[in-house]
Chains A and B, each alone.
Chain A
Amino acid sequence: MLLLQVIVGGLLLGAIYALFSSGLTLIWGMMNFINFAHGEFVMLGMYVALLVVLWFGGGPAVFSFASAFALFVLGVVIYASLIRYVLRGPMLSQILSTFGLALLLRYTVFFIFSANFVSLPQTSLSGTVNVGGILMPVPQLVAGVVAIILTVGLHLLLTRTTVGSKLLAVSEDRNAAMLMGIRPDRMQALAWGLSAGAAGIAGALMATAYPWSPSVGETFGLTAFVVVALGGFGSVPGALYAGLIIGLIQALSAFWFGPIYKDIVVYALFVVLLWLRPQGLMGKA
């Protein structure tokens, strides 16, 4: 029974991994660009949630929306002021730009909030429910389920709507898209907004269930790399499956070997994956 509980807990956390990783995979698939600051977006989403609760109060729906909105705006601003210029530059500046941004964001938050762990004050989400003998904390359950719904929603947005088709058109052929009357810059800005927004709302959801500190961004960023590498670059459904798998692997390795080994196992899996199947589970070779 305990094992079953560990498995369900891992899958629920994995659902949140899937949500923020789908943001990373969207940018990679569309612009062939790796955002080293993606984990920091998740971390910022957590602090936005905290500030909204402390200043304005309000329930999970309010601060989750606030985090998503704030990070969407930040993503667009970062695209317009930085990414747009380095996209056409050498590889060195592509990697340095978001790598430097990650340091800047992480340690600015560190400077303001200090390195201490914080958690949200008690929200309306609390208590546990008993599902067929498995005791599940309500915040984790809600966060996990909402994360799955949002990830599927992002996938539908990309595949079933006009905006999604425009995004896809830009990623397939920038010039052809321009001839069709699509503005690539606007679409790429939107993609950065969606990517950061997904990370922000994932952070807010996680904040309801787990305590955090400014350094979690690094761990989440690396976790997102592993999820994307496993699921295949550019694939949102891939990120969903891979996120659930990684969450499960983490929970099981923490259960069997001890909590400190959960990240070691996941990063080691990444190295093995690079050797055996670099295109990921669902990616194209």
Chain B
Amino acid sequence: MKQFVPVRWNVAILAACLLLYPLLFSDPFYLDIGVTFLLAAISASAWNIVGGYAGQVSVGHSMFFGVGAYAPLLFYTLFGWTPVAGIPFGIAASIVLAIVIGVPTFRLKGHYFSMATIAVAELIRIFFGTWQFVGAAIGLQGPATARGWWDLTFRSEVPYYYIFLAVLGILLGLTYAIERRRFGYSLRAIKAGERAARSLGVPVQLAKMRALVLSATFTSIAGSLYSLKTGFIDPDSGFGILISVQMVIIAALGGAGTLYGPLVGAAILIPLQTATNTWFGGGGSGLTYILYGGIIVLIARFEPGGVFELWHHIIPQRWRSKLAA
């Protein structure tokens, strides 16, 4: 029992910090960073289920994000529904996509899944750019002003902050539960060695498929939250390669396949991104991408376990045991 106490303290402190953040930093600039951080953490945690725990590296998760982002605004544009009502349709479409990709590629080993994700994401991005039904290259817009509370269109960032925080809480709780259940062990066994896992009776294909569907669902929700907040979506902000890159880099930076990895990664990357955007003036010059590319290569080359492992290398064993005590 004693063993679990420090963990719960950590959770309580983390939760308190996240809950109090809008009260301590009420300046819109810092609130915006907070909201961006939460959204990035949700997306990366969703990616983490299939990419981190199961080791099936998707480089095209923007397809789920984009579908989730388009659905609310599409149903608003077509029928004038509240954007929230579109969320389940986004999830359904994402699950269909997950099945289309997962069923053929999960039978095969290795890189097929990664290749299929990037090809399908690009296919959908180009297709949405030419499809008039979803606004082609111009995209879709949400309600300009809220018709009622049910539109979830707020002037202030604070309500979004707490909605996003609640979703992140649910997702992390779910991931924690998975981690400790048979399903979680199956996923990690698959990551460590697929053939060995199969020989020990792990239903490899089914487990990978469940992980992908779960991951797609939450990525789609993240996309819906994004378009609810911005009230606008176009092919690049929904399906752009940067969306996928960000999920991968945040999870890998913090530690792919760990519960708090995506949180740590987002806490490092989002302020860094805000800083580079302020210094270099937006993403137009491509410097953000150069930075991301460089970080990804360095992680892959030197520290595939993310900063968590880096920490273990830097801090000597004795220190760590003192800190833990």
Whether A260 lies near B304 (C-beta < 8 A) is: no
Q: Which of A2-10, A98-106, A242-250 lies at the interface with chain B?
A: A98-106
**Which among B107, B111, B245, B289 has the greatest number of chain A C-beta atoms within 10 A?**
B111
Complex Cα–Cα for A226 and B112 (A):
11
Which residues of A sit under 8 angstroms from B116, Cβ to Cβ? 270-271, 274
Is B300 positioned at the interface, with any CB of A under 8 Å from its CB? yes
Asked if residues B55 and A222 are in contact (CB atoms below 8 Å), the reply is no
A236 to chain B minimum Cβ distance, whole angstroms, is 19
If A91-B55, A222-B118, A222-B122 touch, whether A104 touches B304 (CB-CB below 8 Å) is no
- Picked from A100, A105, A270, A278, the residue with its CB within 8 Å of the CB of B300 is A100
From residue 108 to 139 of chain B, which have CB atoms closer than 8 A to chain A? 108, 110-112, 114-116, 118-120, 122-123, 126-127, 129-130
Return the chain B residue nearest A226 by Cβ. Answer: B119
Residue of B nearest to A102 (CB): B293
Q: Are the CB atoms of B57 and A222 closer together than 8 Å? A: no
Q: Is the CB of B304 within 8 A of A100?
A: no
Say whether chain A's binding surface is mostly helix, strand, loop, or mixed: helix
Interface string of A235-278 (1 = CB under 8 A from B): 00000000000000000000000001101100110110011001
| B286 contacts partner chain A, Cβ-Cβ < 8 Å | yes
Assess whether B310 is interfacial by the CB under 8 Å rule: no
B281 within 8 A of A: no
Partner of B115, one of A33, A229, A263: A229
Query: Is there contact, CB below 8 Å, between A225 and B297?
Result: no
A263 to B119, CA, bound (A): 10
Q: Which of A89, A96, A105 contacts B296 (CB 8 A)?
A: A96
Q: Is A117 in contact with chain B by the CB < 8 A criterion?
A: no
Query: Does B287 have its Cβ within 8 Å of any Cβ on chain A?
Result: yes
CA–CA, A27 to B67, complex, Å? Answer: 34
**B89 close to A (CB within 8 Å):** no
> Which residues of chain B come closer than 8 Å to A103, judged between CB atoms?
245, 289-290, 292-293, 296
Q: Is B59 an interface residue (CB 8 A)?
A: yes
Give CA–CA (A274, B117) in the complex, Å. Answer: 12
Contact A225 B300 (CB under 8 A): no
A271 lies within 8 A of B301 (CB): no
Docked CA distance A260–B105 (Å): 27
Is B202 an interface position by the 8 A CB rule? no
B49 at the A/B interface (Cβ < 8 Å)? Answer: no
CA distance A105 to B290 in the complex (A): 8
Determine whether A181 belongs to the interface, using a CB cutoff of 8 Å to chain B: no
**What is the minimal beta-carbon distance from B126 to any residue of chain A, in angstroms?**
6
* A267 engages B122 (CB within 8 Å): yes
Q: CB-CB < 8 A to B304: which residues of A?
A: 86, 89-90, 92-93, 96
User: Which of A32, A85, A91, A99 has most chain B Cβ within 10 Å?
Assistant: A99
Is B289 a contact partner of A107 (Cβ separation < 8 A)?
yes
Give B278 Cβ to nearest chain A Cβ, in Å. Answer: 18
Q: If the complex has contacts A32-B110, A92-B304, A96-B252, are A107 and B126 also in contact, measured as CB distance less than 8 A?
A: no
Contact (A82, B55) CB under 8 Å given A95-B114, A102-B293, A103-B293? no
B256 at the interface (CB under 8 A from A): yes
A271 with B115: in contact, given A91-B57, A96-B248 (CB under 8 Å)? no
Distance between A283 CB and nearest chain B CB, rounded to angstroms: 11
B285 lies within 8 A of chain A by Cβ? yes
Counting chain A residues whose Cβ lies within 8 A of the other chain, the interface size class is 35 or more
* Size of interface on B: residues with Cβ below 8 Å to A: 47
Beta-carbon contact of B59 and A36 below 8 Å: yes
B57 pairs with A96, CB closer than 8 A: yes
CB pair A264 B297 closer than 8 Å: no
Q: Which of B105, B116, B119, B123 has the most chain A CB atoms inside 10 A of its CB? A: B119
Are B289 and A106 within 8 A (Cβ)? yes
B119 touches A271 (CB 8 A): yes
Is B6 part of the contact surface with A, judged by Cβ < 8 Å? Answer: no
> Does A108 lie within 8 Å of B301, measured CB to CB?
no
Residues of A within 8 A of B100 (CB): 271
Distance (whole angstroms) from the CB of A34 to the closest CB of chain B: 4
B294 adjacent to A95 (CB under 8 Å)? no
State A95–B58 Cα separation when bound (angstroms): 9
Q: Tell me, yes or no, whether B207 is within 8 Å of chain A by CB.
A: no
Per-position binary interface string of chain B over residues 277-307, scored 1 when its CB falls under 8 Å from any chain A CB and 0 otherwise: 0000000011101101111111111001000
Q: How far is the CA of A104 from the CA of B290 in the complex (A)?
A: 5
**Cβ-closest chain A residue relative to B241:** A218
Cβ of A110 within 8 Å of any chain B Cβ, yes or no, is: yes
State whether A95 touches B57 (Cβ < 8 A). Answer: yes
Given A218-B241, A260-B126: A107 and B290 interface contact (C-beta under 8 Å): yes
Considering the complex of A and B, which 8 residue pairs feature the smallest CB-CB distances, nearest first? A100-B296, A103-B293, A104-B293, A107-B289, A97-B300, A267-B123, A93-B304, A107-B286
Identify 15 new A-B residue pairs, CB closer than 8 A, beyond the known A34-B111, A34-B115.
Answer: A36-B59, A89-B300, A90-B55, A91-B110, A93-B304, A95-B59, A95-B114, A96-B57, A100-B295, A103-B292, A111-B286, A225-B118, A267-B123, A271-B123, A275-B103
Between A and B, 19 residue pairs with Cβ closer than 8 Å are A32-B110, A33-B111, A34-B111, A91-B110, A92-B55, A93-B299, A96-B248, A96-B304, A100-B293, A100-B294, A100-B298, A103-B293, A105-B293, A106-B289, A225-B115, A225-B119, A229-B115, A264-B127, A271-B100
